Amino acid sequence: MRRERCVHRLPTFSAYRSTFLALAILGATLLFGCSSERDPDYLDVKPRTLNVGDPIMRIRSGVNDTPFDVDISILESLGTVSYSVDDPYELTDVEYEGVLLSVLFEQFGGAESKSVTILAIDDYTQTIPRDHIEKWPLLLALKANGSYSPRSHRGPVMIIYPYDQYPELDPTIYDPFWVWQISDMPFN
Ligand SMILES: Nc1nc2c(c(=O)[nH]1)N[C@H]1C(S)=C(S)[C@@H](COP(=O)(O)O)O[C@H]1N2
Ligand SMILES: [Mo]
């Protein structure tokens, strides 16, 4: 049983504010912040583990088109898997970690959903049919070789097809489905 009685939130200072004002606010916060704060009316049970950060993309439900602006923690809370693949764009083996598209279908698509459209920030678009997701463990990848992918390098999220594990995945057909810099995923 732990009570967090005193949470200091340091104000963010704009450059134009005087040092005096900054110190006055800081001093007041430290002096009076604690004593004036009321005890919470509840006990802490579980700490917050879902840290809502900046949305990185939008997912739209196949049931009613509701948009969900998701961040990395929300995606990771669906569970992640990883595998290595000889990446046709990097021309080397890369270990990708991400959420299975089959899980996103379950969570957002709805039973009637036949496909998902993948839109990228450069307006590149592909529609992935449900049977791809049923046949192969496609990834909405967040990490490459253990690191989050920056937008400048195909991130934050990209589609990965498991070429190494499924030799029937002919690159001439499936390379175009490797969409990167994804902005929106409406289920159809
Ligand atoms: N976001 C985004 N992803 C994309 C593309 C694109 O233009 N934008 N091109 C696709 C196609 S058609 C192919 S063949 C591959 C390779 O694109 P590149 O030749 O420009 O590397 O990326 C795929 N993914
Ligand atoms: Mo292409």
Condensed to tens digits (0 to 9), the pLDDT of residues 118-143 reads 999 999 999 999 999 999 999 999 99
Nearest Cα to 100, choosing from 145, 144, 162?
Answer: 162
Pick left, alpha or beta for residue 146 (phi over 0 → left; psi -120 to 50 → alpha; otherwise beta).
left
Tokens read off for 116? 């998902």
Residue of the CA atom closest to atom 6 of ligand 1: 124
Show the low-confidence residues of the chain (pLDDT under 50): 1-7, 10-13, 17
Ligand 1 near 176 CB (within 6 A): yes
**Residue 1 confidence (pLDDT):** 44
**Residue 164 confidence (pLDDT):** 97
**Residue 138 confidence (pLDDT):** 98
Ligand 1 near 32 CB (within 6 A): no
Ligand 1 near 182 CB (within 6 A): no
**Residue 11 confidence (pLDDT):** 47
- C-alpha to C-alpha distances, 181 to 50, 76, 97, 123, 184, nearest whole angstrom: 24, 18, 16, 10, 10
> How do residues 36-53 score in pLDDT, each as one tens digit?
578 889 998 988 766 678
* Cβ atoms 149, 110 nearer than 8 A: no
Instruction: For residues 18 and 160, give the distance between their C-alpha atoms in angstroms, rounded to a whole number.
Output: 51
Q: What's the CA angle centered on 141, arms 109 and 56, to 5 degrees?
A: 75
**Residue 47 confidence (pLDDT):** 80
pTM of the model: 0.77
